[in-house]
């Protein structure tokens, strides 16, 4: 069972999800007012930073990041990251509010299905904290770096080969990989924090975060800008993020979930339902396909 201290991080994670959802609404709107740029090119950020709407999205994203770090200091990575999936629910509701439309009944039912699947996963998995020492060795750090670089590279290659309609999805997957790995690095840094902010600057994870975090943001902006499938792009990011961080937690940070045959089966079914619900929910977002509206 999770302790009261661990559960204290859950409201912080939900607050981070709400801030992330609001930030994503502003980023999507801003990205479609910006000249298109090739994937991974930093000039896109230079164009975006000139827009006040995008600058406010950065403020919200920083707030979400702060809440996420606070949640990770109290609660296992495997519990925090799935809670961030609720950011998509906030995104759909806030985008509808910004466009002065009302989410339909199907959208709300899919949102409820998403939350039910998430709750089922948490109840079945019963995540537990680890020692966070798995990234101490050079070999483990190198393996994580190679895995992240390989996954992102494959996604970028796939994006080049796809048409405009589907190109956002591999770009969003690459961003989700970066975000999930970033969450794992943050969680590992918590074990080295001794009360002074300067203590983390002696760890390699800090410098990896400085590179990986902004690159993930850039890829997410590429995904939003690449085509009319903005909401599925966000759904891909939000699903990939916790799944990647769950893998980092299990493989490198010694976090644990229940591993009995029935528990594993239940977790797989819950995650599959969650992924399906998030994708269906994204399809119902108001701006899913501008081509059908023309």
CA distances to 56, 128, 135, 172, 185 from 253, in Å: 34, 11, 7, 25, 9
Packing angle of the helix pair 87-98, 230-252 (nearest 10 deg): 160
Helix or strand or coil: residue 42? coil
DSSP per residue, 19-39:
HHHHHHHHHHHHHTTS----T
Cβ atoms 76, 127 nearer than 8 A: yes
pLDDT tens string 83-129: 777 887 788 788 778 777 776 677 777 777 877 887 788 778 876 66
DSSP per residue, 177-226:
HHHHHHHHHHHHHGGG--S-GGGGGGSHHHHHHHHHHHHHHHHHHHHHHS
d(CA 5, CA 249): 19
Q: Which one, of 216, 247, 231, lies nearest residue 281 by Cα?
A: 231
Helix or strand or coil: residue 106? helix
Q: Where are the alpha helices (DSSP H) in 126-167?
A: 138-161
Q: How far apart are the first and last CA of the chain?
A: 53
pLDDT tens string 168-210: 888 999 999 999 999 888 878 777 766 666 777 878 888 989 9
d(CA 71, CA 209): 18
For the chain, the average pLDDT equals 80
Residue position matching structure tokens 């609660």: 75
pLDDT tens string 7-47: 678 889 889 999 988 998 898 888 878 887 777 778 888 88
């Amino acid at each position: 069972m999770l302790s009261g201290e661990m559960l204290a991080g859950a409201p912080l994670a939900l607050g981070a999800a709400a801030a992330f959802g609001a930030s994503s609404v502003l980023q999507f709107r801003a990205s479609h007012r910006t000249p298109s740029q090739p994937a991974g090119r930093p000039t896109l950020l230079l164009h975006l930073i000139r827009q006040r709407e995008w600058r406010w999205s950065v403020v919200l994203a920083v707030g979400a990041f702060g809440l996420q770090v606070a949640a990770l200091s109290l609660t296992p990575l495997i519990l925090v990251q799935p809670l961030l999936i609720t950011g998509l629910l906030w995104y759909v509701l806030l985008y509808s509010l910004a466009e002065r439309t009302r989410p339909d009944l199907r959208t709300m039912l899919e949102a409820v299905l998403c939350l039910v699947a998430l709750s089922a996963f948490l109840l079945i998995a019963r995540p537990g904290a680890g020692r966070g020492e798995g990234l101490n060795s050079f070999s483990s750090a190198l393996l994580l770096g190679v895995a992240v670089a390989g996954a992102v590279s494959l996604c970028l290659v796939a994006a080049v080969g796809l048409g405009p309609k589907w190109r956002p999805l591999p770009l969003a997957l690459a961003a989700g990989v970066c975000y999930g790995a970033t969450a794992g690095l943050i969680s590992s840094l918590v074990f080295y924090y001794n009360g002074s902010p300067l203590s983390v600057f002696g760890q390699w994870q800090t410098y990896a975060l400085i590179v990986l975090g902004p690159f993930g943001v850039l890829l997410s902006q590429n995904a939003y800008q690449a085509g009319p499938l903005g909401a599925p792009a966000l759904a891909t990011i939000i699903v990939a993020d916790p799944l990647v961080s769950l893998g980092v937690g299990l493989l490198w940070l010694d976090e644990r979930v229940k591993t009995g045959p029935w528990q594993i089966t239940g977790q797989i079914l819950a995650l599959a339902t969650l992924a399906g619900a998030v994708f269906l929910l994204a399809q119902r977002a108001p701006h899913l396909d501008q081509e059908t509206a023309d």
